[in-house]
Structure 1
Amino acid sequence: MEMAHTARVHFIWTSIALAVILIATCLTYFFLSKVPECQRVNIVSATESMLFKHQRSREHWLLKAHSCSQTDGSLMWENEWEGHRNESEILDHTGKWIVIQESGVYLVYIQVNFKLKTHSNSSSPTSVELKLLVHFNYGENTQMFAAAHDTQMVNANTVQDAKLNAFLLMYMKSTNQLSVRTFPSDMVNIDSRPFSTYITILKWSDSW
């Protein structure tokens, strides 16, 4: 119990530290899309949106991946705070879609770990392309954008660790949904201890 509490505290402070890094460096990047009703993923001024509009909120979540679909690369989530908070409040019945409860601006951090390996018949280094895609479902429409990607060279007969992460600042309305897809799906590391693949969601303010 104490170890689980320590892990929760660690990830909360990790998320806060990442937010500070985002403000200080302004090096975050992601796809800017035009979405009706101003629902969009956007890059905003740190002074305008972070320093002056921050409001306290109870909306904060830590979800860890427990499986990855081999058909479409979708991550299936479970609530790390299960037992303390109701898992049904944030996940749909499939465990694939994260359902937003309150409208507002959210900090979303996604980390996906991979165990890279070559095919059994390969005797030379192989190039492996890593992708992290986010699906944003608003009403009857779904927007997909690439949150992160990388290419790694994997030596023959070895297993290498690799990581993709994305830090997003998003305005979302109540009932909007998020899902995450990763490729190659058969190399996603979903070890539960320590967390290998997870997402943190913190509400920052009610509006931009």
Structure 2
Amino acid sequence: MNYLAHTLLGGPSAADKTGALLGDFVKGTLPGALPLDLAHGVALHRSIDAFTDAHPLFARSRERVSPARRRYAGIMIDMFYDHLLARHWADLGRGDLAQFAQSVYAALDEHAHWLPPRLASISPRMRQFDWLTAYRELSAVRQAIDSMSVHRLSQPNALAGAVDELERDYAGFEADFLAFWPEVCHHAAAFKWPPVAH
């Protein structure tokens, strides 16, 4: 799951949305100073990632990726699934996608003092280029993946052209995602943190 899916699954409040994004940027033990609602969002993000990585439908999507790119299949599928969520937003999302995206950017502004440096540095670009709404278009997904390939991976261009694989088996990835989405929604809705002691 990537930014759009995590912010939708995270919950309706500004803190929920911010915490859902923090999960990609806060590593290791949760900082004790982090407010409980943001810490909950990070914990939910991690739980969703673990659930997703272990799910047979996500594994099936991984198998659709060519062996040459299989090492990065998880990254690719996360981005593909955000695209598919944006495309099916009218049925799967909450309200209007553009309004939802603006609520996420506003949530990040509201919690700016809690953002780690890397998230703080990309947050203005998220709003400027409206990343969450842009995911509807394959051209935006292609640009995001190609940029990641150049700037964040040890092997430059390892993901170049990855969106071609989504286009070649679009119906297959779409079927996997549409079957998976209700299950991850159920998982997120059932999540409890911190665990209740017995």
TM-score by length of 2: 0.30
Instruction: Point out the structure with the larger helix share.
Output: 2
Instruction: Point out the structure with the larger strand share.
Output: 1
| Larger RCO (CA within 8 A; separation ≥ 6) | 1
Bigger Rg, which one: 1
TM-score by length of 1: 0.29
